[in-house]
Each structure stands twice: as structure tokens, then as C-alpha cells.
Amino acid sequence: MAVHKDAEMAEILKPRTDNREYKRLVLPNSLEILLISDPDTDKCAASMNVNVGSFCDPEGLEGLAHFLEHMLFYASEKYPTEDSYSKYITEHGGHTNAFTASEYTNYYFDVNADSFEEALDRFAQFFIKPLMSPDATMREIKAVDSEHQKNLLSDGWRMNQLKKHLSSPAHPYHKFSTGSWDTLEVRPKAKGIDTREELIKFYEEYYSANLMRLVVYAKDSLDKIESLVESKFQDIRNINRNSLSFPGQPCTSDHLQILVKTVPIKDGHTLRIMWPITPSIRYYKEAPCKYLGHLIGHEAEGSLFYILKKLGWATGLSAGETDCTAEYSFFKVGIDLTDAGHENIQSVVGLLFKYIQLLQKSGVCEWIFSELSAICETSFHYQDKNRPADYVVDISSDMQLYPPRDWLARSSLPSNFNPSTIQMILDELNPENMRIFWESKTFEGHTDLAEPWYGTCYSIEKISSSTIQEWVTASPNENLHLPAANVFIPTDLSIKDFKDKVTYPILLRTSSYSRLWYKPDTMFFIPKAYVKIDFHCPYAGNSPESEVLTDIFTRLLTDYLNEYAYDAQVAGLHYGINPTDCGFEVTVVGYNHKLGVLLDTIVDMIMKFEVREDRFAVIKETIIKQYQNYKFQQPYQQAMYYCSLIQQDGAWPWMEQLEVLPNLEADALSKFVPLMLSKAFLECYIAGNIEQGEAESTIDKVESAFFKNSNPLCQPLFPSQHQTNRVVKLGKGKRFCYSAKGLNPSDENSCLVHCIQVHQDDYLANVKLELIALVAKQPTFHQLRSVEQLGYITVLMKRNICGIHGLQFIIQSTAKGPSHIDQRVEAFLSKFEGELRQLSEDEFKKNVNSLVDSKLEKHKNLREESRFFWKEITDGTFKFDRKESEVTALKQLTQQELVDYFDEFIKVNATRKKSLSVRVYGSSHLSDYEVDKTSAEQAKYVNIDDIFTFRRSQPLYGSFRGGRSPTKL
């Protein structure tokens, strides 16, 4: 029986729009649990948070907690078949994963509702009697090392470890947390330590029920979930392990008042100023860091960022608490610098401290706190529903930190105005308590130290408070001031009463100027709307230059709007202006009350667009660095890029865009924008808490602005100018291969993307392909990653480019080269062919039902629903009933039809198979690059030497997109 106490039965605060039921209970073994009943859910989920993380790693076994996280997935005494847990979850429409943090490890999954009980039982065995076989142990050490190899050239991982390195060795914050072959095999073995024995000892010492928190999200009543959970989790042993805490600060005086210059992998300049502070979790209702982060990170007129941007010194700024625990925390200000900002670093730091001094002089303002509190309260009560898996992870991760009443709200509802608490944290943001990390490639060759785990080069110097004061005094005399009241806070949160339950978007109006799709919200009942306007402009993407200029145009628009629209984003009204393959699109999503005001401003800004030379220069500099940094992408990202470039007609390579960029000046954009906008068609979608008349008048205003005034900016497109999306049609029975050296010579990782192109969008063919992907997904992972250990990134997924469907294997590896991996993929397909034929009728039906359940899963929120329908619109397929129609096709599918489809399109040497292998060779396999090209094995392939010659020589699929009427051309 569960233990119930009065304190445990306290009401849990939940959003007023939330109709789910919640219950807290504690089992006799002291496992604390939150049950969530949601009769409307399609997916059930669970998350177990164990209050043991990398801080508990024994000395000399760095990464052991993370390694244990990997090992628990393999097998248990009750379910001894290796990887059977992951196989079960995948076969029943679910996903599973885990992560290791400093002080806890979180395991979670979701699954189709009718398979939840067995999934939960398998999950519970992680914490009851896991098996950790010697063979699996050795293989998974390699997987941990492969994960580490993936991270070695990531600036995020490198800088995070450098911060930890420059802290007290006596504090566990200092540790290297992820582990590697060196820390889990080589070093222990040299000392006579058996890693598996230490792993079992670690599990037995720390994995105690009283250190665990479980969240279970299910469809059944609370009583039924409670009974289920009791039966599954009561056998987790409780050794009454003391709650783990790590008192003390990670930074001694030796680690404060320092300026660290460090060399990143990517081009660019970044400044991070950090202060160890009193953890705000102790004052979460008073929200001192939320208040200070709101002000220091503000971007409206008078803010620190506004001034830095005006001076041409920064392109981004963030502020807030980070690395927070109950014992210590940091407040961090991160600033993305321009070249000019990098040259004026002293003034940048001086302005930051000048703003902090302004906050000191202004005092803590109750009206700002009240405004922030109102925004947070609205956000909490009208929050979007998330995926159950995300929801349970968020809650379980924080259950140790908050009382049960606040498990859902956590720190999201600041309500107690206490100036002294905010002042206390503000006082800690002083020069004596500061750490500055300054990243730039310009420091290359000018550093004298290296961080031991990632090899990051850095130098360090002390910096006194008097020096900081000199920088403050010498910084520009700009008008820094507190923000004005936020005019975008919604006050009308009423829900529209739509009489008809509209299931799919309707074509509300169409003209030579635009087409408007409309979908009222009859499902979520939240006062939010979603507006998308896609400007189809033929001149926007007809050359590398025009594509780059369109990109600069959209960024400049966003840049110009920032100080005005920042308040809207703070208040929950978000916007985006982004380039597309044939123009640009404007998105506005959030509370509908003041959405029209923001949209009107965006339209007006486009209409009156002028190029400001100073901002053009900053944006150009930013884009050049981003293009230059493409070479530092992970090899799998490079391979997927090549795969798209080969197949998508009209796609321009980033190398050509980078080539034209330096020669583009402001006047080129001034001439280009009127030309780009001179011919346009607007594809529009409006959904949510907005009435039909409002939707029509919104687009009528936009049409009038662009097409119908006395001197119209735009003319409608000719029929021949409507944009298409053509995809290369690979030859039947042919294997194509494109090989390239990795763009970053320092990266040892190689990658293969093995892409099988199958068919153009068709309900029956789609579900056959999806079913094969579902059945093969877990065997792919188990064979190629768990057994053969080819690489940490091992994925089989369905691919859809503009309505052309296929499968793709993505495998990144330091262990083997791309050609070898390609052979292993084909070997897997040969093995899988037999498994597919031997699939029992029950297994076939089980997989069909799983896919049916997944397809019938309801959208969680307006944004998710709108993205689904918008993809149908942009692809030109307009199959808004896709899920239902594909379910109908699935239910009629026979097992023999599936096997026949596999034999025809996917199996090795199938006569109608069309495959493309994209191979990226990392530095550890460069010797294979030339050898593979001339090998006997390679004679089976059609080699692609030049992407564009190849693309021009191939036939194309017909385009779904391309006309004013929703029909296929």
C-alpha cells in the first residue's frame, strides 16, 4: 500500500486551463511519485529521476554515472534479452532516452497507451535487477567514448569543461563528467581496477528508492494508475541512502577576478561574464535572478544590448542564472561580439558594470516585479500542452527541489516582492566576485595553457576591481535606462465561441495576390493565434547572390524590429522573419489580443524598408562567420547537406554564397529589395483563437499594403512564375555514391548517409515505407550501434523531401570509414530481409496497430497543429486528412504486400531500388578516401564527381507546388 500523510495530500497548484488530475504518493520503500491522469492523451509516459549524477563519480573513474545510465538500457533479470526494452518501446510507437546531470540522472520514455503497462514494467526493472554483462559493458564503454569523440570539437562542451577546470579541485564541479575510453578502460585497467565491478558497486551504493522521484502520465484514473505503479515499483530496494549534497562553492578566491582568453573551434568572438551567487532556488517565489536577468538581458531602448548594438559591438546578449543547484549557482551574462566589439572589450565590460550600477542606483522597482509576475502568471495558466515525455522529465527533474504544491509551477510564478533578496543577489554581481571568459580565434598562438580533457587552449590573468572601475569610467557615455512599461501584455484572454467544429483548414479566399487558409481553434481553447505569411518572390532565390541578399534582408528586418518587438516576445507574442527557398516568410504566434498590432508593424517595416549601412555591415559580418563555420559542422550534418544538395533542384551551395558575400555592399541590397518585392504571391495561414472575419480583414490589409495602393510595391505573379519544388529522380536499379573529405581537418569522425529514394507522395506507399522504418529502426540501432559499435550516432529514419519519400541510414564513426559502414548497412539489410519474411502475423499486426496509434495521436498544441498543416501547404500536397487516410490504407495492408514492397524498392540489389551513399571522410580515415574510389567494391556504384553536373543530367519528379489552385501540376 502507498503511504499517505497529510502533508503529502496537499493540493498541487496547476494551470487553470489544465483539466488533468494529479496525485502525490510515497511507497513503503520511500519512492516519491507524482501520478498524472489525462483521459485525452494518446501517449503515456514515465520519468524516473535518480538523485545521483556525475558529482558522485569515483576519483579515477570519470564518467561512471553516465556509463551506468547507458548500461541500464541493456537488459534486466526479468527481461534478459539484450535491448528488448528499447525494442518494445519502439515497436509500440514510443521513444526512450536518458541523461546524466551533475546531481541527478533522468530516465524516461513514452509509448502508445495500450502498451503502457508492460513498458512500465520493463522500465521499472532498470531500478530493481538490471543485468550488466561483461560483454555489454565493454561494448558500451566504446559507445560512451564515441559520444565523447562527437563532443571533442564542440565549443559548447569545450567551454563548459574549461569553466569547470578553472574551479576548485576539491569541489566535484571541477570533474570531467561524460567519460571516455581512457577514463573507463585504459586508466582503470592500468591500476588493476575492474570497471564492471566498480559499476555494480556504484549502482548498489547509490541507487536507492529514497533517492528517486517518479512521474507517471497515463490515460487511466488516478486510482488505477496508483495500483499499477505500486505493483511495478514497490520492489525497488531502499537502503535509506542519505540525500546527497555537495556543500561549498566551486570557486575559491584563486578562481575569481580572472580574465580567461580562450581559442574556440568556430570563428567569432564571445564574452561570458560570470559571478558565483547565492542559489535563487532558495528564494524561488521572490525570483531575484528572474528579475535581474529580465533587466540585464533586456533588448528594448535604453537597455545594455540596445546600446551595444547601436555602437555596432554586439549581435546578441543573454543574462540569467546557470549551473544552479541548492548549494551554489552562477549568474551569467553572455555577449556575442562583432569584430568592433572585440576590439572594444574594455568598454563592453565597462558598460555592463555601468548598467549594474544603474540598477543599484535605481533600487529594486516594485512595478517591474509586478509586471514580470503578471507575465509569468499568464504564461503559466495559458501554457501550451507539451508531449507527455517532455512534461514528466521537466517535473521529475525538479521534484527534489520544490515542495509538492509547486511541482508543476516550480520557479515560474514569482509572487513575493522582497527587495532585500533581489538586492542581495545584485550586490553579488560585483568586480571582486567576477570571472570573465573571452573566446576568439584571434588568441590563437597567444595562449600558454591547455585544458586537459578537450585540449582547449587558453591563458589566464588576474583583473582587479580598480581596473574594472577604470573601464567603467572610460566607457562611452550612453543613455542607459530602465525599460518602459510593456504595452504588449495581453488583457483580453477570452476564448472565441466557434459554433462549428472545423477539423481541417479551409480555403477562405483566393486571388491573384494571395491565398488564405483558415483554421479556427476548436481543440485547445487557449487565447492564442498562429499567423504565417509566405512571400513567394521569384527573384529571391534565382542565384547565390539573390539568396544571400534575401537572407540579409530578413535579418535586417528582424534587427530593425528588435527594440520594439522585444517587449512582445517577453509578453508571450513571438515573431520570426526567415528566408525560404523561394522568398521569405513572416510568422507571428502567441496571445491573439495584440497580435494584429505586431503584424501591422512588421508589414509597415517591410513596406518602408531602407538599408542602414552600419547595420548592413554588422549583419554581413555575422553571416560571413556563419558560412565560414559550416566547415565545423559535425560530419553527419555535412553528409546530410550534400544529400540534399544532390537531390534538390535549384539549391545553391553555401560555398558559392560565401564566395559572393564579401563583394556585396549596402547599395546592392537597396537595389535588390524593390526588385525582389516587385513580383510576389502571398500564401497565408491563420489559425487559433481568431474569427473568420478577423482573418479575412488581416490579409485584406496586407494585400492592400503591398498590391493596392497608388504606387504598389508588388505586382501579382504571372502563372509561369509560381514556384516549384523539383527533386532529382534517381535511376532505378542504380547505386549512386558521392564522397568528400571532411571540411574540418581536425575532426576524426567520418559519416555515411545511405539514402534509399522510393516514391512520390502516395497514401499506401507512404505507410508501407513507414512500417518498414518502424520494424527496422530498433534492429538497426541494436546491430550497427550496440553489437558492431560503428558509432554513437546510428539512426534509421524516414525521409521526405518535397513529397519524395525514402529511407536514410545516418552513421557517424571514428571506428570505421564510410565505405566499410556502407557495406555493413547493406549486410544489415540482407539480414533484415530474412527477419521481415519471418515476422509472425501477430508481430505484423502489432506493428500496424502501433503505427495506427502514432498516426492518430492528437496534436498537443496550436503550434504543432499549425506546423503539420503548413507543411501540407508549402509542399503543395494539401492532404490535410493525411493521417486519417493513411490509417485507412494501413488497416487494409497485408503482410505479403509489405514484403513485396521491400523486395521491389529496398532490399539489396532490388531491380527498382534507387540508393545514394554520401560519404564524408574524417581525418582518421583519409587514407581510405582515394583507395575506396578505385576499389573493386566501388565498381558497383555510379560515382558522382560533380554535384551540379550530375543534377543537370538527371530527370526530375513533378512538382506538387506551383499554382494558385491546390492541385498537382
Reported as a single tens digit per residue, the pLDDT across 88-127 is 999 999 999 999 999 999 999 999 999 999 999 999 999 9
Q: What is the pLDDT of residues 192-211, one digit of tens each?
A: 999 999 999 999 999 999 99
- Is 213:48 a contact under the CB 8 Å cutoff? yes
Give residue 10's pLDDT: 65
| CA 488, 489, 490, 491 torsion-angle sign | negative
pLDDT at 3 over 60: no
- Is 812:751 a contact under the CB 8 Å cutoff? yes
- Residue 81 CB: number of other CB atoms within 10 A? 11
Give residue 962's pLDDT: 78
Give residue 945's pLDDT: 95
Please state whether the predicted TM-score (pTM) of the whole model is above 0.85.
yes
Residue with cell 516519491: 32
Query: DSSP strand E in 689-822: where?
Result: 715-716, 734-741, 750-760, 793-801, 804-813
- What DSSP state is assigned to residue 47? E
pLDDT category of residue 7 using cuts at 50, 70 and 90: very low
Query: DSSP strand E in 777-903: where?
Result: 793-801, 804-813
CA distance linking residue 400 with residue 414, whole number of Å: 19
- Is 863:530 a contact under the CB 8 Å cutoff? yes
Q: What is the pLDDT of residues 774-791, one digit of tens each?
A: 999 999 999 999 999 999
pLDDT at 570 over 70: yes
For residues 586 and 937, the model is more confident at: 586
CA distance linking residue 606 with residue 682, whole number of Å: 14
Nearest residue to 62 via CA among 186, 203, 200, 205: 186
Q: Find the largest Cα–Cα distance for the chain.
A: 85
Averaged pLDDT for residues 599-607:
97
Averaged pLDDT for residues 641-657:
95
Cross-strand bridge partners of residue 262: 439, 458
Grouping H, G, I as helix, E, B as strand and the rest as coil, residue 606 is helix
CA 794 to chain centre: 18
Cross-strand bridge partners of residue 454: none
Average pLDDT of the residues of the chain: 95
CA distance linking residue 870 with residue 867, whole number of Å: 5
Averaged pLDDT for residues 438-455:
97
- Is 482:493 a contact under the CB 8 Å cutoff? no
Q: What is the pLDDT of residues 301-356, one digit of tens each?
A: 999 999 999 999 999 999 999 999 999 999 999 999 999 999 999 999 999 999 99
Give residue 938's pLDDT: 87
Percentage, residues of the chain above pLDDT 70: 98
Residues serving a catalytic function are 69, 140
H or E stretch covering 331: strand 329-337
CA distance linking residue 932 with residue 918, whole number of Å: 13
Query: DSSP strand E in 852-957: where?
Result: 914-921, 942-943
CA distance linking residue 399 with residue 407, whole number of Å: 6
What Rg value do the Cα atoms of the chain yield, rounded?
A: 29
282: phi then psi, degrees, rounded to nearest 5:
-70, -15
β-pairing verdict for 314-322 and 329-337? antiparallel
pLDDT at 509 over 90: yes
pLDDT at 967 over 50: no
pLDDT category of residue 2 using cuts at 50, 70 and 90: low
**At a CB cut-off of 8 Å and minimum separation 6, what does 643 contact?**
753, 755, 808, 916, 918
Percentage, residues of the chain above pLDDT 90: 94
Give residue 529's pLDDT: 98
CA distance linking residue 127 with residue 455, whole number of Å: 37
Distances (CA, A) of 900 to 483, 893, 903, 907, 914: 66, 11, 5, 10, 16
β-pairing verdict for 43-50 and 105-112? antiparallel
Give residue 963's pLDDT: 59
- Is 674:849 a contact under the CB 8 Å cutoff? no
Give residue 6's pLDDT: 40
pLDDT at 968 over 80: no
Lowest mean pLDDT of 457-471, 543-557, 712-726, name the range: 712-726
